[in-house]
Amino acid sequence: MTQIEKRTGKRTALVLGAGGLVGAGWEIGVLRGLVDAGTDLTGADLIVGSSAGAVVAAQLSSGRGGLDALYEQQLDGEATEPAARLGLPTILRYALAVLRSRTPEEYGRRLGRLALAAPTVAEADRRETVARRLGRTTAWPARPLLITAVDAESGELTAYDEGGGVPLVDAVTASCAIPGVWPPATIGGRRWIDGGIHSTANAHLAAGHDRVVVIAPSARGSKVVLSPARQGADLAAAGARVEVITPDEASRKAIGRNALDPAHRAAAARAGRAQAASHAAAVAAVWGG
């Protein structure tokens, strides 16, 4: 693990947020569209990934296959994991947890209890699904990569990196462990849940970097979970150049109401690629600054 709030330096950071399998496709589409416009973010000095963004971050950081191949994978229709859904009772428990919580940690503890009690697939089976999704991306990259997860008991956020001795697939599995859908991941004798529970982007982990682009499939925030826009504003207030990209109307329609259904992945990737054009000038100004 890393001292997650002590990174400094005049460097670039790419933050990839939570948003399900379909949100991951949209993120890859946005990145591909920005390349179309002349800005490649994949060489960022730091990449932060949460949940779906953790998978994309791991794939990009590894340098295996490249962005073009990742984008084409979103379009090929291959189901790397089964469709899932947050049922209405679980959604209501999420909403109740927000209302009853005063901090992200308290919210994390409430959803941790939900996750620990929920009947799901076996933990080993879920890990194998994530491993298949990562494909040949099996080792931590040499450059800085942070993968977030939340302790199911304490509700505290952590960020795994190459120095913590945790296999990359385990870190990503933990980051993708959506409470009530997938089982908590066991690492170091503790249980871990989705990194997007603390916030949908965790953009605060890019503090100390001068140029930051946040790509977040979910723009949501609440009184306890800061939105990507709020976190981006905090980074800007601290002196960083920041651009936050969240889905526009066309992208929201393409993503649909169930971001865990891979049937929407191709449409989301195409929509993200198209949307990138409207952010290209702002991203270029940030990245080239």
Per-residue pLDDT of the chain (289 residues; tens, 9 = 90+): 333 334 444 699 999 999 999 999 999 999 999 999 999 999 999 999 999 999 999 999 876 668 999 999 999 866 666 778 888 889 999 999 999 999 999 999 999 999 999 999 999 999 999 998 888 888 999 889 999 999 999 999 999 999 889 999 999 999 999 999 999 999 999 999 999 999 999 999 999 999 999 999 999 999 899 999 999 999 999 999 999 999 999 999 999 999 999 899 999 999 999 999 999 999 999 998 6
**How confident is the model at residue 62, as a pLDDT?**
79
Q: What is the pLDDT of residue 121?
A: 94
Residue 76 lies in a domain: yes
User: What does each C-alpha distance from 233 to 53, 102, 204, 228, 237 come to in angstroms?
Assistant: 20, 21, 10, 8, 6
97 located within any domain = no
Collect all residues with Cβ–Cβ distance below 8 Å to 80 and sequence separation of at least 6.
21, 129, 132, 133, 262
Q: Is residue 108 part of a domain?
A: no
Q: Is residue 160 part of a domain?
A: yes
If one counts the domains in the chain, the total is: 1
Q: What does the alpha-carbon distance between residue 30 and residue 36 come to, in Å, rounded to a whole number?
A: 10
Separation between Cα atoms, residue 78 and residue 74, nearest integer Å:
8
Q: Which residues are catalytic?
A: 51, 194
Task: State the pLDDT at residue 8.
Answer: 41
Q: What is the CATH number of the domain that holds 166?
A: 3.40.1090
C-alpha dihedral over 127, 167, 245, 20, to 10 degrees?
0
CA distance 281 to 259: 28
Residue 170 lies in a domain: yes
Task: Look at residue 132 and tell me if it is in a domain.
Answer: yes
Spatial contact of 180 and 93, defined as CB atoms under 8 Å apart: yes
Residue 201 lies in a domain: yes
- Domain range holding 256? 10-81+115-286
CA dist 215 → 93, 138, 219 (Å): 27, 24, 10
**For residue 88, is it within any domain?**
no
Q: How open is the CA angle 46-52-58, to the nearest 5 degrees?
A: 40
At a CB cut-off of 8 Å and minimum separation 6, what does 222 contact?
Answer: 98
CA–CA gap between residue 108 and residue 103 (Å, rounded): 9
Residue 47 to residue 126: CA distance in whole angstroms = 24
119: helix, strand or coil:
coil
**211: which 2 tokens?**
């140029």
